[in-house]
Amino acid sequence: MKNEDLLSLKNISIVFNDDVKESLTLANYTKDILKSRGFDSRVVSSSDFDSDASFVITIGGDGTLLKAARLYAPQGTPILGINLGRLGFLAQANPEEIEISVDKLLANEFTIQKRMMLSSFEDRVLALNDIVIKGDSFSRTSKLFLSINDKVVCDYLADGIIISTPTGSTAYTLSAGGPVVAPDLQAVVIVPICPHTLTARPLVIPADEKIAITSCKTCNRLKMSADGQDTIDISPDDKILIRKSSINAKLVVLKKENNEFYSILRKKLQWGVAPER
């Protein structure tokens, strides 16, 4: 196993979601399993992260994992997701598989995937899935101007715009009509949200391109969110620069049957499954 695939189990944090009823119970159950294997761990709330974890297990949905990724990725901390949500596209196991998953970790039956992230405002905004820019008024569209590498590409009259990583291509981007992009590609997807034109289509561009979003001084204020969670207000005359981050999220992927990207796509999103007669 390569050094970059090694997992330190010295400081294990089990992050549970306060808003999911069974999350704390399962976090304590996971802690007991680890203890029975000779490993200490601590249970922490998703609203009160610790900072010195060497390995993190999240108990919740994809949102819990995304929040953990934004906070732990700068430290290079690997994350394993246990799904209690509806879809759990990023999670590696369901509650009934926790004990098996722990044993796979101890047997080195896993890999660590590096997932590209996006950043803005000098890394103060970090996202694993996407950065979304919308107007702060639900009843009005926004005028947004897109530039790539300092060249004007187009202007949108739309409800907003999504800038997505390959990881996020199966989330909000997909719902807005964007393409599915394999997670190991270095690319960025740009998708307008409900544009008032038939010619605005999603763009897939190299990850190292420089993206800039501007509006007009007389337009409404904007809001920018990272992974649909961290939201900040943007002045209409601000220039929003978005780029590939130098920071990668590290996701633990267990070695088990039908656990690669295309099988998960088919299983969880019913991709390409013919309708039943």
Determine contact, residues 167/130, Cβ cutoff 8 Å: no
Determine contact, residues 126/226, Cβ cutoff 8 Å: yes
User: 155 catalytic, yes or no?
Assistant: no
Positive/negative CA dihedral, 157, 178, 171, 208: negative
Determine contact, residues 146/192, Cβ cutoff 8 Å: no
In whole angstroms, what is the distance from residue 89 CA to residue 92 CA?
8
Tell me which of 50, 62, 155, 184 is the catalytic residue: 62
Residues 159-194 as b/e (b if ≥16 CB within 10 A, e otherwise) read bbbbbbbbbbbbbbbbebebebbebeeebbbbbbbe
CA distances from 235 to 46, 118, 154 (A): 30, 21, 20
Closest CA to 234 of 122, 136, 163: 136
On the CB side of 204, CA atoms within 13 Å amount to 14
Joined tokens for residue 211: 């993206």
For the annotated catalytic residues, the residue numbers are 62
